[in-house]
């Protein structure tokens, strides 16, 4: 028990240091009418990180960002209405998010970037690979689905009655640390919910058009079914597949799963590094 407490304490110190360092690395760009927040860590080939719905850079990637930055120039982005990034008088869409990311990549003078998208960030990654393929080298699609029936049974049932109280407390707390405006938090939540209620996904032909090499990753108890994850792997022309033990984002140490004894995040990073290093 004592050793476990020491490990947890050390993990908290590492996370606090990483977030403190972000205060000096965080930047803003004027992108398609909003102020988009991003951070740059490390050096090497550019790797863009796209967080999940309702999340921030650190709730999605806090555990693995320092490890990824050892071998890549990590460009971690917060999308419309999330975290530090501003909002526009328009609904959130995966198309708009992809347009925003592509424009930021252009402004940073990066010819092509690797993209790692988790959950809703994975859907934005698919949109990028379909409609901004000139900006994309390789993609990692983590815990995402491309059509409605790819989700677990019952997933869609709660969206019509969802309230802010249904949002995990850790996400609410993290947002309010960044922006203490509870109305802005509710606005983000409502836009996230509406986007999923409107979700239509992509066609088989859309998916087949993706030419970027892809690593499709999911947990065996994830939001997307394992069968759907395999289907995505088989549809994409140049893809690899990994189904790891755990729930939504557990394999990468997402904030809902802060277990410091879980070694899967290190394995996940090693898989990403190897995939991106493949000629």
Dihedral-angle region of residue 249 (phi above 0 means left; psi in -120 to 50 means alpha; beta otherwise): left
For the chain, domain boundaries: 2-277
Q: What is the pLDDT of residue 5?
A: 44
Q: Does domain 2-277 have CATH number 3.40.50.1820?
A: yes
Q: What is the pLDDT of residue 24?
A: 52
Dihedral-angle region of residue 224 (phi above 0 means left; psi in -120 to 50 means alpha; beta otherwise): beta
Q: What is the pLDDT of residue 142?
A: 98
Q: What is the pLDDT of residue 238?
A: 98
Could you identify the residue written with the tokens 């995966």? 94
Q: Mean pLDDT, consecutive 10-residue segments, the chain of 279 residues?
A: 43 44 75 98 98 98 98 98 98 98 98 98 98 98 98 94 96 97 98 97 98 98 98 98 98 96 97 94
pTM (2 d.p.) = 0.92
Name the residue among 86, 182, 71 with its Cα closest to residue 116.
71
Q: Could you write out the three-class secondary structure of the chain?
A: CHHHHHHHHHHHHHHHHHHHHHHHHEEEEEECCEEEEEEEECCCEEEEEECCCCCCHHHHHCCCHHHHCCCEEEEEEECCCCCCCCCCCCCCCHHHHHHHHHHHHHHCCCCCEEEEEECHHHHHHHHHHHHCHHHEEEEEEECCCCCHHHECCCCCHHHHCCCHHHCCHHHHHHHHHHCCCHHHHHHHHHHHHHHHHCCCCCCHHHHHCCCCCEEEEEECCCCECHHHHHHHHHHCCCEEEEEECCCCCHHHCCCCCCCCCCCHHHHHHHHHHHHHHCC
How long is the chain? Answer: 279
d(CA 210, CA 213): 8
Q: What is the pLDDT of residue 27?
A: 97
Q: What is the pLDDT of residue 25?
A: 74
Instruction: Give CA torsion, residues 164, 168, 172, 177, to 10 deg.
Output: 170
Q: What is the pLDDT of residue 235?
A: 98
Query: Using alpha carbons only, what angle is made at residue 240 by residues 272 and 100, rounded to the nearest 5 degrees?
Result: 65
d(CA 126, CA 207): 8
Q: What is the pLDDT of residue 72?
A: 98
């Amino acid at each position: 028990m004592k050793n476990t407490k020491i490990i947890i304490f050390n993990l908290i110190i590492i996370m606090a240091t990483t977030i403190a360092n972000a205060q000096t690395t965080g930047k803003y760009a004027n992108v398609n009418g909003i102020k988009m927040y991003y951070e740059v860590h490390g050096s090497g080939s550019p790797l863009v990180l796209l967080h999940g719905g309702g999340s921030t850079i650190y709730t999605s990637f806090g555990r693995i960002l320092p490890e990824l930055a050892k071998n890549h120039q990590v460009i971690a982005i917060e999308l419309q209405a999330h975290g530090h990034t501003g909002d526009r008088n328009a609904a959130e869409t995966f198309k708009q998010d992809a347009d925003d990311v592509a424009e930021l990549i252009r402004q940073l003078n990066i010819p092509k970037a690797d993209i790692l998208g988790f959950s809703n960030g994975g859907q934005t990654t698919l949109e990028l690979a379909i409609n901004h393929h000139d900006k994309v080298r390789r993609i990692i699609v983590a815990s995402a689905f491309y059509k409605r029936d790819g989700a677990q049974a019952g997933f869609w049932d709660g969206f019509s009655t969802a309230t802010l109280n249904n949002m995990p407390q850790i996400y609410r707390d993290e947002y309010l640390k960044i922006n203490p405006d509870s109305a802005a938090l509710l606005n983000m939540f409502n836009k996230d919910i509406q986007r999923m209620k409107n979700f239509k996904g992509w066609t088989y032909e859309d998916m087949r058009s993706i030419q970027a090499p892809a690593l499709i990753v999911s947990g065996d108890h994830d939001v997307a079914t394992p069968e759907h994850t395999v289907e995505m792997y088989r549809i994409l022309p140049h893809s690899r597949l990994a189904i790891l033990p755990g729930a939504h984002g557990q394999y990468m140490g997402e904030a809902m799963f802060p277990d410091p004894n879980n070694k899967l995040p290190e394995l996940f990073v090693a898989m990403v590094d190897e995939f991106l290093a493949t000629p």
